[in-house]
Structure 1
């Protein structure tokens, strides 16, 4: 495993622990949406996701499919960190997420920690249905892939986190600088 992938994996485990310690009603659906918002918000701001997960446009919103599959049989690096267990609810069985060890902020930048904190505050009491609604908002990446483009079950590119007007402003800025450099070289 490369150092980058290992670092992203450590961040994933710590992010799950953070959300388990700082939100209520943390099941699989809510967790997936929180990780999606973490990764896509950070990508929008920096051009890099936090966990490196790949998200796909499923009917209930964005799903990191590899993590979805892994939670059926969690790998050994979850041991001592998180406990995933099925709990019977009125709506059927729900996979709950509990933390077994203290969150370690050392793996994260200040920006990443701020985003984690903001998401935990914003969605502290939200349930799975409310989280699904938030990811389905018009013009967000899931909505663009699933509803607008009709690419159900397909990958949601991180680049979609950058809004069109921001993308156009960035391209204008790059072109202006290129022209300025070109003029200086003459």
Structure 2
């Protein structure tokens, strides 16, 4: 488990057989202030004079102390981010059902696809402004890998490599809360319906299900972009019409 900055400082102090009072005197602060730092009640950031003094005292690098701290490390999605809504859609889905053991990357891709195409079927526009590509395991958002990497780098999500029923699985855990204000009521309704209907499927089940959706079937070649307009050719259980679509 990753240690916080306070835990690291406490460990270094104890290893050096120094008391809080001795360290506080060296830093020219009182013992209570040091205790607050060690208990992570006072957060030190890169460039802070106290952090540099502590690093020098224990002969460690400032970045080494900060690496892995749990506070002040997550970056919010910027207002001018081209993928702002797509990232919030990912966060929304992960928050609502990402804790389920079957929700790996394959299932996430399909939940994103059906959210976008179901909304397009109702409103002639998508939610995330993403194109989707026809791949052997079903539809995949064109920019998904780049976007997930950006979100990992900004600590908005955490990537885990696990196993599910004997198969390797890539999972993502949200570190920040989605911004609900970027969605309208119908978008939330449709996303929630997709989660309710499909989020209990495993990767094979949801992939097989997506293979029978008309937009996927009607797109000729692997690697081709799936036209959103094909959502209006759906039939049977794939039709997604909301009662609130006026």
TM range, smaller chain:
0.7 to 0.9
Gaps of 5+ in 2: 1-78, 236-246
1:55 and 2:132 aligned = yes
CA 90–118 in structure 1, closer or farther in 2 if over 3 Å, else same: closer
Deviates most, 62-71 or 30-39: 62-71
User: Any idea what SS the aligned residue of 2:173 has?
Assistant: strand
Q: Which residue of 2 aligns with 1:66?
A: 143
More relative contact order, 1 or 2 (CA 8 Å, 6+ apart): 1
Contact 2:83 2:147 in 1 (8 A): no
- Report runs of 4+ in structure 1 exceeding 6 Å deviation: none
Q: Which structure shows the bigger proportion of residues in helix conformation? A: 1
- The gaps in structure 1 that reach 5 residues or longer are 166-186
Total equivalences in the alignment: 154
Q: 1:92 to 1:77 in 2, by over 3 A?
A: closer
What is residue 22 of structure 1 aligned with on the other side? 96
Deviations 1:56-91 (A, max 9, x none): 1111111123213554xx115862422222224454
How large is the Cα RMSD of the aligned pairs?
Answer: 2.4
Q: Do the aligned partners of residues 51 and 164 (structure 1) sit closer, same or farther apart at CA in structure 2, a change above 3 Å counting?
A: closer
What's the TM-score, normalizing by structure 2?
A: 0.56
Trace 1:1-186 onto structure 2 (pairs within 5 A).
6=80, 9-23=83-97, 24=100, 25-71=102-148, 74-75=149-150, 79-137=154-212, 140-145=214-219, 149=220, 151-163=221-233
**Which structure's CA Rg is the greater one?**
2
| Alpha carbons of structure 1 residues 12 and 129: separation in structure 2 relative to 1, 3 Å | same
Query: Could you state the TM-score of these two structures normalised by the residue count of structure 1?
Result: 0.73
Confirm or deny: 8 A CA contact 2:155 2:175 kept in the other structure. Answer: yes
